[in-house]
Amino acid sequence: MERKIEILSNIIGIITNIVTLSPLIVFLLAGIWSYISTGNFFDVILAIPYYIWIVLLSISIFILIIKRKEKIKQSKLFIQRKILFSPDINITDQLDLHGTTEVAEINYNEAKWKIHKLNDSLYLYIRQSDPIESLLIEIPPKCLNCNTDLFQRLGFWGGYVWECKRCNKSIKSSDSFQIIGSHALAVAKSEIKDNRDKK
Ligand SMILES: [Zn+2]
């Protein structure tokens, strides 16, 4: 039964793709046919009434919009989990063992990001690394207006939209929480280092 459903959905997918590409397919087939019969690629294409093109393009755009909306809907259908991100995998491995403490906040890409530090100075001492390198960033970020966790979905024209469910603020972002979060963490580390060195 599952196999039949899979085959059926594949067939529907192929038909939808053909219909979506129909303006291009008709253009090419008419052009080739025209070239073979008259020696000119555009004779038959120009003979096709303009309303046929309007109908084909309208159906194609309609399907593209439906498909995109479905993809956006899918991008909302999972439970968003809170994570602490560090580019250093050794630091994230220590998280469960030692826990973290929130030490700073940074406003970046129209959102508020919380910065944490690992609760184990001995571990850092043994590794002999700069404590700043052990900082982590909390994902998701929070709304600048009301300090509420933001939610992420795909944007209609590409990229992402970050939404606040409390005040309805929405932020367009070219990249995901993870990518922008890693940038925000790098900026925070650099600023904290500068402030420390000034003292
Ligand atoms: Zn808000």
Distance CA 21, CA 67 (A): 14
| pLDDT for position 196 | 84
Asked whether the predicted pLDDT for residue 122 surpasses 90, the reply is: no
Q: 106: CA distance to ligand 1 center in Å? A: 16
| pLDDT for position 124 | 67
Domain residue ranges in the chain:
2-71, 83-198
Asked whether the predicted pLDDT for residue 163 surpasses 80, the reply is: yes
The answer to whether 131 and 124 are in contact (CB under 8 A) is yes
Distance CA 191, CA 79 (A): 33
Q: 161: CA distance to ligand 1 center in Å? A: 14
Q: 115: CA distance to ligand 1 center in Å? A: 19
Q: 110: CA distance to ligand 1 center in Å? A: 11
Q: 26: CA distance to ligand 1 center in Å? A: 49
| pLDDT for position 121 | 66
The answer to whether 151 and 75 are in contact (CB under 8 A) is no
Q: 84: CA distance to ligand 1 center in Å? A: 21
Q: 195: CA distance to ligand 1 center in Å? A: 30
Distance CA 159, CA 153 (A): 9
Please report, rounded to a whole number, the percentage of residues in the chain having pLDDT higher than 70: 96
0.85 surpassed by pTM: no
Q: 94: CA distance to ligand 1 center in Å? A: 32
Nearest Cα to 112, choosing from 146, 159, 155, 88? 146
